[in-house]
Structure 1
Amino acid sequence: MDPIDTIDDATAAAAFRRLVRHLRHRDDAQNVDLMGLAGFCRNCLSDWTAEAGALDKDVAREAIYGMPYDRWKAEHQRPASPEQLARMADSVAKNTR
């Protein structure tokens, strides 16, 4: 058994909410940089949330971003450089699922 499966749901949910709030606070951490380093970003997290809870994609994104996704993009997202896009592509290629 994977040790993560031994954590009770209330604890896991609290950690998840803390992660989401941390990412909201760190709007300077661009999604492309998160993808380049860890192979996932806020969009991935919102997609996983939508899938886990059978939620509408836009509802899940607003829950993760703390505002409508289009607004977050307009206020916080900067254009990605070729270097960022290359790191992201290399990183995502390591994902197994």
Structure 2
Amino acid sequence: MPDATPTQTEIELQAAAYRRLQQHLMQDRTDVQNIDLMNLAGFCRNCLSRWYQEAAAERGMEMTKDEARELFYGMTMDEWKATYQTEASGTQQDAFKTAFTENVERKS
């Protein structure tokens, strides 16, 4: 099996792509709701912040869920919700239950 360790250049490119995705979701497309991301793609902004938290934990760094979210969102979760989050419809909420079970709970 080939060595899967990324080179420094690959790490830098991955980090740049992550930063661009974060910018896209946090600045360019604040109109896209987390529930829609989860329902369509199987992940959302909260997942990305959780993955950030998990990566920190793998490196021995303590980080709470709220700290990770604030780092990813650039504001507190309460600020994000008040500024950008809209009320989810019953259809969206039903689809979310399925998407969350398939993409988060079953992978935990």
Give the shorter-chain TM-score range.
0.7 to 0.9
Q: Which has the higher contact order (CA 8 A, sep 6+)?
A: 1
- Taking the TM superposition and a 5 Å limit, the aligned residue runs for 1:9-88 are 9-25=11-27, 26-54=29-57, 55-88=63-96
What is the TM-score normalised by the length of structure 1?
A: 0.84
The offset of 1:63, in angstroms, is 1.5
Q: CA RMSD in A?
A: 2.0
* Ranges of 4+ aligned residues in structure 1 off by more than 6 Å: none
The AA in structure 2 aligned to 1:62 is E
**Separation (CA, whole Å) in 2 of partners of 1:35 and 1:5:** 30
The AA in structure 1 aligned to 2:76 is P
User: Which structure 1 segments of 5+ residues have no match?
Assistant: none
Could you tell me whether the CA contact under 8 Å between 1:49 and 1:60 is conserved in 2? Answer: yes
**Separation (CA, whole Å) in 2 of partners of 1:20 and 1:38:** 15
**Separation (CA, whole Å) in 1 of partners of 2:34 and 2:73:** 11
**Separation (CA, whole Å) in 1 of partners of 2:94 and 2:25:** 23
Q: Which has the larger radius of gyration?
A: 2
The AA in structure 2 aligned to 1:60 is A
The offset of 1:6, in angstroms, is 5.1
Identical-pair percentage: 49
